[in-house]
Chains A and B, each alone.
Chain A
Amino acid sequence: MSSATETVTLADVCAAAIADSFKDDGEIFASPMGLLPMLGVRLAKLTSNPDLVISDGESLFLAGVPPLFAKGDVVEGWIPFRKVFDVVAYGKRHVMMGATQVDKHGNQNISAIGDWAQPKRQLLGSRGAPGNTVNNRTSYWVPKHSGRVFVERVDIVSGVGPKLAKEAGPAAARYNDIHRIVSNLGVFDVKGADDSVRLLSVHPGVTVDEVREATGFELDVPADVPTTREPTTEELVLIREMLDPKGLRFKEVPHDG
């Protein structure tokens, strides 16, 4: 059976890295899109930041911290879509979104691939990315780091990075806060030279060169790149025995990485 002495998996490392993205947020609405972000946010709420406000992804604020996709027992608020928009504008929110493409300057694309007028591949549309990125803290989760995702320039700017926000003027830059990009290879921010993506840490067993090779633009790499921390024993127990006993996380980040 699972125990903390088992080998730490890459999915566990990613969950802890995502949790760390939310640890200094204080009492705000943590909005994870997707499975690993949901796991990471709930892990943060159980460890580094118990003040986080979390939802069921539908319309309820949950007082407790249920396992992934389980129904919450105690409800502490109501957050239908119209109130989500209110909180976006209010600013007390940190969203971690997916990204079909993310570029050198931390712009994100979930709209379409190719030319917007007649795309090669239509994706979701911009959703809330334009509004999120000029209103509240925004991070991205990329489960398969590759040169197809990390591109020189996104085809369509859905989420706005700091360089474009500054170019768009003070109203756009004022609350633009692209906090972290967490992938299956490492952790990044957008505080490199000329507001570019910068490598903050590589996951255990991953080299800086491997990250460079899997990135389609010139990454800002500091002289000293630490290794992403491994989850603590407490975190491993919470992940394996409480939050994700079924191992759903391995669907996004398989055992072999």
Chain B
Amino acid sequence: MTKGPRDKQISIDDVVGELKDGMTIGIGGWGPRRKPMALVRAILRSDLKDLTIVSWGGADVGLLARAGKIRKLVYAFVSLDSVPLEPNFQKARQEGTIPELVELDEGMFQTGLRAAAQRLPFLPMRAGLGSDVLVNQPWIKTVTSPYADGEELVAVPALHLDVALVHLNRADQHGNATYLGPDPFFDDLFCMAADRAYVSVEQVVDTAGLTVDTPVQRLLLSRMMVSGVVEAPNGAHFTTCTPDYERDEKFQRAYAAAASGSDEDWAAFSARFLEGDEASYQAAVAAFKEEQA
């Protein structure tokens, strides 16, 4: 009997069970686009604390900040696009509730992930020179080119992750995964920068199904980069997961209104949507959708 690669399907709770206090967790996607929100929601419900979060941030960062889960945040921006300023992140910054912050240029962020993915301590880059990124992060050093030009460049430090969490459209049970929307974002880099990577997907299909009507170039993740696969339909809600669904703008507006409202407003939103498991979240979202229709 021949053996195939192992089945890596696990549950949302299994993923959270693998996480520990104080871990460095990279969250894939970009701003309010294709974020592994089901996994983020599970972290909100857990007792995890003192996390270092590495993210081109959207509501993932806002929610984790509001829940007091973040000890250190590495980011280049936090935005919901159609709501430019993320209210929970704003509140956390203005009240000083995130103890440690590393604000990078958004290209530096990619370079840092790439350095970690290539197991290098740093990679050189121009971005950051002359800006307050280097003033506010004095631990980020420059490096002088050993060649004739002698240019002094930023030595962008590797953003090594304990765990990467990403959400794609389809995967097989082994962890090969495709994105079907317009932009891969940097989910492959997140996975390669991490010791372990967990991918949630809209749908788990058999391996042949991944390329049956999809060009092979859309296979962003290889199973060798992936430790666990979670089937989580609507698991990126309320961020975009094109072409499965676009951003839920009505829900995002309700989120932003609650986040920028009173403590009671936020408590009501949280009680309605965030305190149950993923199935109750999806049920509450369905009820919200019906109300708004």
Contact = CB atoms under 8 A, between A and B. Distances in A.
B35 to A, nearest CB: 14
Given A80-B183, A121-B94, A160 B131 contact: yes
A4 B103 CA distance: 48
Contacts of B108: 130-131
Interface in B44-91: 57, 75-79, 84-85, 89-90
B182 A130 contact: no
Interface string B78-114: 1100001100011001111000000111111010000
B130 A85 contact: no
Contacts of A156: 132, 136
B84 to A, nearest CB: 7
Contacts of B184: 80, 82
A157 B182 CA distance: 32
Interface size class of A (residues with CB under 8 A): 35 or more
Contacts of A85: 106-107, 110
Interface string A190-215: 00000000000000000000000000
B257 interface: no
B185 interface: yes
A129 B196 CA distance: 32
Interface in A97-147: 111-112, 116-131, 133-135
A80 B182 CA distance: 7
Contacts of A112: 93
A111 B131 CA distance: 11
Interface residues of B, number: 41
Contact of B132 (A111, A131, A133): A111
Contacts of B85: 122-124
B104 to A, nearest CB: 7
Contact of B129 (A59, A123, A165): A165
B265 interface: no
Given A81-B186, A122-B85, A127 B132 contact: no
Nearest to A111: B103
Contact of A125 (B77, B127, B186): B77
B61 to A, nearest CB: 10
Nearest to A109: B132
Contact of A120 (B89, B94, B105, B129): B94
B90 A126 contact: no
A169 B134 CA distance: 14
A253 interface: no
Contacts of A120: 94
Nearest to A78: B182
A250 interface: no
Q: Which of the listed residues B108, B152, B183, B186 has the most CB atoms from chain A within 10 Å of its own CB?
A: B183
Contact of B133 (A122, A126, A165, A169): A126
Interface stretch (A10-18, A170-178, A216-224): A170-178
B132 A157 contact: yes
Contact of B130 (A58, A111, A118, A164): A164
Contact of B127 (A59, A121, A134): A134
Contacts of A130: 105, 108, 127-131, 133
B153 interface: yes
Nearest to B186: A82
A128 B151 contact: no
A242 interface: no
Interface in A58-105: 58-60, 80-82, 85, 88-89
Contacts of A158: 131-132
B107 A88 contact: yes
13 contacts: A58-B182, A81-B30, A116-B132, A118-B93, A125-B57, A126-B104, A128-B127, A134-B127, A134-B130, A157-B131, A165-B129, A167-B130, A168-B130
Interface of B: 30, 57, 75-79, 84-85, 89-90, 93-96, 103-108, 110, 125-133, 135-136, 151-153, 182-186
Query: Top 8 nearest A-B pairs by Cβ distance?
Result: A131-B127, A168-B130, A125-B77, A172-B129, A130-B131, A122-B93, A160-B130, A130-B105
